[in-house]
Amino acid sequence: MKMSPMQKYAMRLLIASGQVRLPDRNAWSQLTSGMAAEQLRRFGGVQAILRDTVLPQRSSSAEESRLPASKSIPFSLEKSELER
């Protein structure tokens, strides 16, 4: 089952805020509802993400407003150590 619209929105918020790196097109299209739920659970779930995520203000460059890659969490379809 594909991601729900709310899961897609929450994932996009995480990507836009720089908390998660943008997955490649293939990984995004294969992301199921269950896999998205696992990813979103790391951040407290959909409701917590929608409530607590604050997007950075736009500056002259969108890249300047994102977290450095070293501080963002890589997107992975594999389960983390805590989820196993």
Per-residue pLDDT 10s for the chain (84 aa) are: 788 889 999 999 988 888 888 788 888 888 889 988 988 999 899 999 888 888 777 665 555 555 665 666 666 666 655 555
The whole-number pLDDT of residue 54 equals 82
The whole-number pLDDT of residue 57 equals 74
Query: Taking the model in full, what pTM does it have?
Result: 0.61
Could you tell me if 13 and 45 are in contact, meaning their C-beta atoms sit under 8 angstroms apart? no
